[in-house]
Structure 1
Amino acid sequence: MPHQAVSPSSCLPRLHSNPRADHERAYGPSERAILSRAAFEEAMAEIGAWPGYAPTPLRSLPGLAREAGIDRIWYKDESARFALGSFKALGGAYAVLRLLAREVTARVPGVPVTALDLVVGRYARVTRTLTVTTATDGNHGRSVAWGAQVFGCNCVVYVPAACSPGRRAAIEAYGARVVVIDGSYDDAVRRAAADAAEQGWFVVSDTSYTGYMDVPRDVMQGYTVMVEEAISQLPASERPTHVFVQGGVGSLPAAVCGHLWESWGRQRPRFVVVEPHNADCLYQSAVAGRPMRSEGDLDTVMAGLACGEVSLLAWAILERGADDFLTIPDEGAVTAMRKLAEGKHGGRPIVAGESGVAGLAGLLCAAAHEDVRLALGLAPDARVLVFGTEGATDPEVYERIVGRSPEMVAEDPVSAAGR
């Protein structure tokens, strides 16, 4: 059978179908207070005017669709988003811009502040005195550092000890100071918040917590630019029956879920959140019916998803909007990276990072297990949208996993032509 091409023994998923999911529930005022199409229009107008902006491609993966025993897989490829190689460019940098505009307006009342004003340094006397800070496993910190450099403020980024040297160097390349924390991502979040309070810095986090909501809302709203692009790129007569999205603290899946929920209402696809077995805070929250910590040790190759605590704003969307929560072993992500690099999907090789493939990996793992496939309704006519949220954001890690450098994969026509 085609859906047995992925070895079940190497990718045993764990599924929890959400009893609180409600496809009849309207996207109402409480949800729009977090994410809305009105706020999306504002984000789109801003980000769409940035130099280098272009929609990233939506790729069809017919080979992997056949392997999974379904009709279609669409893969939103974020590997060339701006210069950062990750969808995170849409969130952290946008939030930095919004924060700086608010702060300049507070100090120079009555003057509207544009991105161009900040880029050319019109208010540099103000922005040079401001410092933004965040915690990251890699991509979000890189986006915040890039935004700080572009829009003219200082930046300090906290990373857990497990963050690779390559990802630290990529953040420093944008002029940020990197502080390594002897602990997890969640420890870095707490340290960034504490130091910001002491130093008078501004936290630009993609996770929300009690008393800290506004900036993470901007981060999430920036992500919806990617979602709207995907909607517009789908074939006119087709919509996905399912969407599989990687978890983390929940900001990404909440942005995707909320935008599709408001846009398509009851006709929205079945929504599946995918996490590593060892970093499953969203899965645990779904089981408990309230925000919970991960029970795992957060040790996963999917470093960008090594988060132990849920963003409260994200959970407010996912609690009713997500249909299923799925966890997978690291082998699932490694296999998906290699399949894309080899062109097994049915096109030119795709360079995809270990966290960016988690949604696709979740789909392939689910399709390889008949009970999970049936529980998720992955019938032969299923059409699935996944988000490939990063390229090789750490080339050394990528080469260690795939066996070839990202440059070799991207430039290799043999894999695609020789099948």
Structure 2
Amino acid sequence: MSDNASALRSLPWFARSSARTWRCAPAPAEVRDFHRTLPDYSPTPLAELPSLAAELGVGRVFVKDESSRLGLPAFKALGASWAVHRTLAERAASGREPAPVTLVTATDGNHGRAVARMARRLGQYAHVFVPQGVHPGAVAAIVAEQAKVTEVVGSYDEAVRLAAEAAEGPDTVLVQDTGWPGYERIPGWIVEGYSTLCAEIDEQLAAAGAVEGADVVAVPVGVGSLAQAVVTHYRSRMADRAPALLSVEPEGAACVLESLSLGEPVSVTTGETTMAGLNCGTPSSIAWPYLYGGLDAAVAITDADSAGAAADLVALGVSSGPCGAAALAGLRAALTGVGGEERRTALELGPSSVVVLLSTEGAAANPHSVTDH
């Protein structure tokens, strides 16, 4: 719950009214079919939490619980599995020698672990770059997947740069979940992989009797890849009714909020945050057009906000760390304090609204709960 100091501070916030009319092409249908072929695939829970609905003054609140996804404690395996599958299939179709390749990536934790897990399962190698500040527990989890780990003295953006350089060698492929000009196809496959999560939500809401779907979806944001998948899912529909989409970032790494405010993608200098997986200073180049076109609002929160939300979710039976709980913390911050009623109006929230919060990781993902979305 926000304390008095949080309620009185000037909330970093951006909103606009045109996002719900923006449209794009849908994700490929075959992504979900691929995930269904994986031996450990099953839909993650969509937990309804009536106490949060009462607190927030809405009809129903659901939390998508990604604390166990394809054997890992975060949603990242959805994107990594599809991207690695597509990458190796393309290499095979090109007639290259079937010798193992090294999958190279940079990570704040769970993406790198997911890439390493896929490499190990498929008989490939993995080389993972981790930035300064990643908890030793997260590094150990990646090493346990038999990956080579290079620890970088610098930020996430610096780790990405070094990973890209390392992937220029023979029999190496960069499998990065952020894009830039000249490197966009594989990040696009990663985003496509996340579409399975959204398809599950549709089915689960319908099964719960929320047949018209969500009115607001809140998503934690780092470079914006997961948010791109969420925007793609909800803005590729031709129906008149569309939910409001809210992005949530740490105050010290709000590159998407700053970019939306300026109307163009910009980089920000990041500091330290317990939301380490959201500690990204530059939006993905492929995500940016979707974020700019399809997000209704963006908010930035404090570490205390996310820690409180994580503790509350755990108490309600949903395993969630600071990054995963950012969605709840962001919506709470938006609806309270000075300007809260105006922000509620911008999101078109009412007493019968259905809210979906994406909790992207479990509390045990690692000690500092990193996800690099």
Q: Residue 257 of structure 1: CA displacement?
A: 1.2
Determine if the alignment matches structure 1 residue 359 to structure 2 residue 293. Answer: no
Distance 2:64 2:117 in 1: 22
Q: Residue 127 of structure 1: CA displacement?
A: 4.2
Q: Residue 395 of structure 1: CA displacement?
A: 4.7
Contact 1:93/1:148 (8 A) holds in 2: no
Q: Residue 337 of structure 1: CA displacement?
A: 0.8
Contact 2:112/2:142 (8 A) holds in 1: yes
Q: Residue 264 of structure 1: CA displacement?
A: 5.4
Residue 291 of structure 1 aligns to a residue in which SS?
coil
Determine if the alignment matches structure 1 residue 310 to structure 2 residue 283. Answer: yes
CA deviations on 1:290-312 (whole Å, 9 max, x unpaired) are 111124x3311101101001101
Please identify, of 270-279 and 64-73, the stretch whose mean Cα deviation from structure 2 is larger.
64-73
Contact 1:155/1:176 (8 A) holds in 2: yes
Residue 219 of structure 2 aligns to a residue in which SS?
strand
1:287 equivalent in structure 2: 261
Distance 1:396 1:195 in 2: 28
2:307 equivalent in structure 1: 334
Distance 1:225 1:199 in 2: 33
Determine if the alignment matches structure 1 residue 163 to structure 2 residue 134. Answer: yes
2:85 equivalent in structure 1: 97
Aligned-residue RMSD, C-alpha: 1.8
Determine if the alignment matches structure 1 residue 126 to structure 2 residue 98. Answer: yes
Number of residues paired by the alignment? Answer: 361
Q: Residue 96 of structure 1: CA displacement?
A: 1.0
Residue 118 of structure 2 aligns to a residue in which SS?
helix
Q: Residue 199 of structure 1: CA displacement?
A: 5.0
1:404 equivalent in structure 2: none
1:410 equivalent in structure 2: none
Determine if the alignment matches structure 1 residue 187 to structure 2 residue 175. Answer: no
Distance 2:329 2:260 in 1: 20
Instruction: Map residues 3-402 of structure 1 onto 2, 5 A cutoff.
Output: 6-10=2-6, 12=9, 13-18=11-16, 21-25=18-22, 27=23, 31-32=24-25, 36-37=26-27, 39=28, 41-107=29-95, 126-128=98-100, 130-198=101-169, 200-234=171-205, 235-263=209-237, 265-295=239-269, 297-343=270-316, 349-369=317-337, 371-377=339-345, 378-397=349-368
In structure 2, the CA distance between the partners of 1:273 and 1:397, relative to structure 1 (3 Å rule), is closer
1:412 equivalent in structure 2: none
Contact 2:67/2:365 (8 A) holds in 1: no
With CA pairs under 8 Å and 6+ residues apart, which has the higher RCO, 1 or 2? 2
Distance 1:265 1:211 in 2: 34
Structure 1: unaligned runs, 5 residues or longer: 109-124, 344-348, 399-419
Higher helix share: 1
Identical counterparts, % of pairs: 36
Distance 1:395 1:58 in 2: 22
TM-score computed with the length of structure 2 as normaliser: 0.92
Distance 2:202 2:271 in 1: 33
The amino acid across from 2:334 in the alignment is: A
Q: Residue 372 of structure 1: CA displacement?
A: 2.9
In structure 2, the CA distance between the partners of 1:393 and 1:173, relative to structure 1 (3 Å rule), is same
In structure 2, the CA distance between the partners of 1:288 and 1:339, relative to structure 1 (3 Å rule), is same
The amino acid across from 1:252 in the alignment is: L
TM-score computed with the length of structure 1 as normaliser: 0.82
Distance 2:311 2:341 in 1: 22
In structure 2, the CA distance between the partners of 1:268 and 1:97, relative to structure 1 (3 Å rule), is same
1:407 equivalent in structure 2: none
Distance 2:156 2:229 in 1: 21
Structure 2: unaligned runs, 5 residues or longer: none
